Each structure stands twice: as C-alpha cells, then as structure tokens.
Structure 1
Amino acid sequence: MSVYIGEFISLLFLAFALGLDAFSISLGMGMQRFRLKHIALIGIVIGLFHILMPFIGIVLGHVISGQIGNYATLVGGLLLFGIGAQMFFSVFNNQKKRLIQPIGIGLFILAFSVSIDSFSVGLSLGISGVKTALALFMFGLASMILAWGGMLIGRKVHGLIGAYSEILGGSILCGFGLNILFG
C-alpha cells in the first residue's frame, strides 16, 4: 500500500512540475486581460495537450523499454534530469520568448509548445513502467489548473514570479531524475 501512495505522491509532484511551465506562460498571458470564458478554454486545451503528449511518450517509452532492457531506468532518469536542467537554465537565457496569441490555431501552437516537455517526461515514464491512466489524468489536471491560476494571477500581479516558477519546476524534474538514477 505504501508503494502506491509513494507513486501517487511522486506523480503529484511531477504533474505540478510539468504544469509550472504552463503556469509561467499563463502569468504573462494573464496580463492581456482575456475574458474568463477564454481563460477557461485556454486552460482546457493546455490540459488536453498535457494528456496527449505524455501519452504518446509513454507508448513510445513502452516500446523502447522492451528493446533496451536493463538500461531503461538509466535512460529515464537521464531524460528527466536533462529536461529539468533545460527548464532551469532556460530562465537565464537573455532572449525574450515571443508570445503567441492564444486564439484559433495560435492556441494549439501555444498548448503544443508548453506541453512538449511532457512528451519527454512521458517517454521516460513509459520506460520506467508507471501507471499510465493516473499519470495522464494528473498531468492534464495539474497543468489545466495551473494555467488557469497563472492567467488569473497574471491579471492581478503582472508577472512578478514567472521566472521563479520555471526554476522550481526545473529543480523538481532534476530531483526526480536524480532519484531515479541514484535512489
């Protein structure tokens, strides 16, 4: 029983870490003062992409894990650590991210770009053999709620904590990668 609780808590933290990317981008978008109906739509689409992308990654991860056998855990840990490090260090990149307008096809491009890191996480989770339905549900729900929260807070705060959320999310992913590698 404690194994299941531990896996649930790990997935909860991982879902939160993946959703922080959507949160930080939503903070900036929230300053554009979208209507609440549009904020709800943006969060739902981002949540759906955070289900779809890791699902594709998990399916590919299952296929790859059958091929590489004993190296599956090593590859999964390295992937998580690499994604986390990329998230962490992207904060210090001096280039400004171009903000895509979340209307029409731009909404799908935005949701895809925010959820692309969850594909890689799904790939590493597929290699390690995680509970697929639970992970996908938690990833989608967390990213949707964090996107909504980010947009609503962005309407009030005007981007005060955007970079710090990326640092936190990257640090959590690095920690999970190191836990898989050495834990």
Structure 2
Amino acid sequence: MVEAGLQAGQLLTLVIIALALGMDAFSLGVGIGLKGIRLLDILKLSTLIALFHILMPLIGIFAGKYVGTLLGSVASSAGGGLLLLLGGHMVYSSLRGDAVPSIDHRSSWGMLLFALSVSIDSFSVGLSLGMFAVDMLLAVLLFGVAGGCLSVAGLLLGRRVSSSLGGYGEAIGGVILLTFGLLILF
C-alpha cells in the first residue's frame, strides 16, 4: 500500500515536471508560429524538440550520478541566455525588415538551435533526478511527450494567431521568447 502511494506520488511529480519543462517548448512554438510555419515544419520541429526532451534529461541523469548539482544552474542559465538571444534576434529582425537575416526555423541548424534552447533545462532536471532513485524510462518518455505535444500546441496557436497580427507576429514572438528567457535567468 505504501509502495503504491510512493509510485503514484512519483508519477504525479514527473508529470508536473514534464509539463513545466514543456512550457518552454510551448512558448517557443507560439513565437515561431507567429512568424508563420507550414504543417510539415511543425511536425519536424516538434519531433526534434521531443527527441531533445528525451536525450537531454537522459544525459543529465547519467551525469547527475557523477556531477551533482554544480551544473544545474549553469544549464538553466544557458537555456535562458539562448532564449534571450533568439527572442532579441527575432524582435530586431522584425523591426529591421529584410535588412537582417533571420534564423531560419526550417533549416537543420535553426531547428537544432531552437530544440536545444528549450530542452537545455531538461538537462539540469536530469542532473537532479540522477541523484535520486527515479524511474528513468518513465521520466524521459514523459518529458519527450510533454515537450513534443506542447510544442505542437504552441506552433499551431502561433500559426493561427499570426494571420490576424500581420507583420507584428515575429516581433510579438520575440518578446515572448525574451520574457521566458528573463524568467529563467531571474
């Protein structure tokens, strides 16, 4: 009976953590969706984000068994910094128009950069989980599903709203990323 309660508590905790980690993917999705995105690109980017939300905490769990909490704050700061840079670039390029090349979310490098920026905090969570007895497979699968589903939701929402915002969509998306970057850093 006590064992079942502990397992239910662990599952609930992992679901909450997965949803919290997926909110970065949701906010990034809204930001990119506001720029306009095709359905095929939504599928590609969301799949990549889901994979990164599985790999990063998995790496973190193994590293957490050896490193401890030292890198946890560094990984969160790096994720926040990446979101600040991406958001700032989006705002700047939307204000400057065609004069500034924007990060192309359809390119392989663009997708990798976006997926890394929202999943790097999963690494720091993995570090923490690596120090505890946690069901590793369940944790990383929950993180991947939440990251993938929330990124799809954000991309679709941003795509739908972008038609009514016109040229301001990219700037608003950049402000959203800047805000989340600041929240992570402070």
Q: What aligned pairs does 1:30-179 form with structure 2 within 5 A after superposition? A: 30-64=33-67, 75=69, 79=72, 83=76, 96-99=87-90, 100-102=103-105, 103-158=107-162, 162=176, 166=180
CA distance in 2, matches of 1:59, 1:110: 24
Taking structure 2 as the reference length, the TM-score comes to 0.70
Q: CA RMSD in A?
A: 3.4
State TM-score, norm by structure 1: 0.71
CA shift at 1:32, angstroms?
2.3
Alpha-carbon distance, 1:26 to partner: 0.9
CA contact (8 A) 1:53 1:118 kept: yes
Query: For 1:49 and 1:57, how far apart are their aligned partners in 2?
Result: 12
Q: Distance in 2 between matches of 1:132 and 1:149?
A: 26
Alpha-carbon offset, residue 109 of structure 1: 1.7
Deviations 1:58-78 (A, max 9, x none): 00112346xxxxxxxxx49x9
List per-residue Cα deviations over 1:86-143 (Å, max 9, x = no partner). Answer: 96xx99x8x9432432222221122112211111111111012321100100111100
In 1: Cα distance, 2:13 partner to 2:146 partner: 13
Identity percentage of aligned residues: 38
Deviation at 1:38, TM superposition (A): 1.1
CA distance in 1, matches of 2:180, 2:109: 25
Residue correspondences, number: 156
Unaligned segments of structure 2, at least 5 residues: 91-102, 163-171
Q: Who is 1:26 aligned against? A: 29
Supply the AA of the counterpart residue of 1:143.
Answer: G
- Check whether the contact 2:62–2:127 (CA below 8 A) recurs between aligned residues: yes
| Counterpart residue number, 2:95 | none
Aligned AA (2:140)? L
Residues 107 and 140 of structure 1: CA distance in aligned 2, closer, same or farther (over 3 Å): same
Do the aligned residues in 2 keep the contact of 1:45 with 1:108 (CA within 8 Å)? yes
* Amino acid paired to 1:157: V
Cα 1:63/1:134, change in 2 over 3 Å:
same
Alignment check: 8 A CA contact 2:87 2:176 kept: no
**Distance between the aligned counterparts of 2:15 and 2:59, measured in 1?**
20
Q: Which runs of 5+ in 1 are unaligned?
A: 66-74, 171-183
Paired residues of 1:62 and 1:129 also in contact (CA < 8 A) = no
- Report Cα offsets for 1:25-51 as digits up to 9, x if no partner: 110100122111110110000110111
Aligned residue for 2:6, secondary structure, equals helix
